[in-house]
A and B are shown apart, each in its own frame.
Chain A
Amino acid sequence: MARRDDLGLRAALADRLLPVLVAAMSFLAALALAGTLASASLAASWRVQAGATLTIQVPQPDDPDVSGKLTRLAAVQAMLARTPGVINPTVMSEADENTLLAPWLGENVAQLGLRMPGVISASWAGPGAPDALGATLGVVSPGTLVDAGAVWAARVAALTGSLQDCAAAVLVIVALVAAAVVGVAARAGLAQRRDTITIVHGLGAQDGDIANRFASRATLLVAAGAIAGTLLALPVLAWLAALATPFSGAAGGLFNLPPPLWFALPMLPLAAAGIGWVTAQLTVRGWLRSLA
């Protein structure tokens, strides 16, 4: 029965504006979804890498330590070797250090004749964060800095956590706006077809007959818009994945998107269609109740 326009309700919804608006919102939703999943997977890999890392900087490494018996670097090394939880402390070679600093100071760091701090890297296997380590080392070598990856890991976790909250908020807002847009479109369609609907209602059409027609139409338009918006988001997501390559350490491109995203993206049009159906049904049925 819905094939034919037997109730004269075919063009009952704004046919162009609705899918375009929904496409724009699906685009935003796809980005928000990708943001949530990508930041979650990046954060996970960063946490693993950073959580175990200790970087210790010893200024003026060749000067004598507090006791005057050893160089500062040697004193710190000796202290680290005695500290439980510190594993495999390794003095970074000057070449490695220069490589590390090259992005900030340029390739010719060696020629700058800077007095570089000694850098020791180690892994941390102790309980909690090594908060007291800096003070302990400072006793033998004043000014020694301990950069605990765990602190960064906690900050990264907090940051990605709030990013994910924002993305979730964006998704909720987009869903609410989508529902509002469908509601407004359905109301406009109802107002435009007021006479037709009143007549069809008077001839004994059930509320469901009328609501289903509006809702099918709305669902179709919304699903089309959502598919278009999601597809349009793919190139942008590929571009973002390429930008994220240095951080994620994997090859860039579309195929590097987090696997859960490939499951989540097709859900967008489905969710949009669901929102379209439910909103149109509620709007039309509510409006019909104003008829006798």
Chain B
Amino acid sequence: MVRFEDVWLKYRNPAHPGASARDVLRGISFEIPDGGFRWLTGPSGAGKTSLLKLMYLAEHPARGFIDILGTRAAHISRHDAALLRRRIGVVYQDFRLLPQLSAYDNVALPMRLARRSEPQIAADVSEILRWVGLEDRMNARPDELSGGAQQRVAIARAVVGRPKLLVADEPTGNLDDEQAERLLLLITALNRLGTTVVVATHNMALVERYPAPVLRIEAGRLVGHG
């Protein structure tokens, strides 16, 4: 379950720590049950990425209450936060692959952090890379891959550990229609296996083809829910 209750977010400006920051999110409240699927839409700059950052514990709210997979985010130790992050798969809008590692090692990263055995890592990583159509590019480094291929590596890394919560920020931005379609099949399959999914997107055609409740955000406020 993911639950937000009257959540506000400000970004501190590192250059002017004293300056009063703008509220990027204002009074956000919603609840996603375990195994739920939500689209997150809204104009550019509305606060979609900001809301997702709170979900994957990359930001702390200025006010409000956040519950992620049954854990109150505000009262969590650094150690437990790290453990919770391992149960959340994230597809970043800007991919965030490690440039010095191969596609295989990038995807293996979360499993290695979870101290899985190398044979299990080899089996799971190969399978997921096959799923996203990159089985013959396993040894390529990110800068040797196209934008779409990098995005698929990022998606593979997010789902390889079978997360309880999958957070995807514009995961189809660099994909052609066929690849986007294939990705949605992967995500809905994972969702059917019990993973709670939130996908931020501008792609309204995709939203129409895969009907699910929509969280719509405008200028930091939730304007449509359900």
A positions within 8 Å CB-CB of B: 1, 5-8, 195-196, 198-207, 209, 289, 292
State the CA gap A199–B142 with chains docked (Å).
Answer: 15
The A interface is mostly helix, strand or loop, or mixed, namely loop
B138 at the interface (CB under 8 A from A): no
Binds A, one of B38-46, B75-83, B180-188, B211-219: B75-83
Cβ–Cβ < 8 Å partners of A1 in chain B: 112, 115
Counting from the closest, the 7 A-B pairs by CB-CB distance are: A204-B86, A204-B85, A8-B98, A206-B82, A6-B112, A199-B96, A8-B100
State the CA gap A30–B115 with chains docked (Å).
Answer: 42
State the CA gap A198–B92 with chains docked (Å).
Answer: 12
Cβ–Cβ < 8 Å partners of B60 in chain A: 292
State the CA gap A1–B90 with chains docked (Å).
Answer: 23
Select from chain A the residue with minimum beta-carbon distance to B100: A8
Pairwise interchain contact B86-A292, C-beta atoms closer than 8 A: no
State the CA gap A206–B79 with chains docked (Å).
Answer: 6
State the CA gap A201–B85 with chains docked (Å).
Answer: 9
Pairwise interchain contact B82-A204, C-beta atoms closer than 8 A: yes
Tell me which residues from 73 to 115 in chain B have a Cβ below 8 Å from any Cβ of chain A.
78-79, 82-86, 90, 96-98, 100-101, 105, 108-110, 112-115
Select from chain A the residue with minimum beta-carbon distance to B53: A292
State the CA gap A292–B55 with chains docked (Å).
Answer: 12
Select from chain B the residue with minimum beta-carbon distance to A11: B100
Cβ–Cβ < 8 Å partners of B90 in chain A: 202
State the CA gap A200–B101 with chains docked (Å).
Answer: 12
The interface bits of chain B over 113-148 (1 if a CB of A lies within 8 angstroms of the residue's CB, else 0) are: 111000000000000000000000000000000000
Of A8, A195, A203, chain B has the most CB atoms within 10 Å of the CB of A203
Known: A203-B157, A204-B113. 14 other contacts (CB 8 A): A1-B112, A6-B105, A6-B112, A199-B97, A202-B56, A202-B58, A202-B85, A202-B96, A203-B110, A204-B84, A204-B86, A206-B78, A289-B78, A292-B58
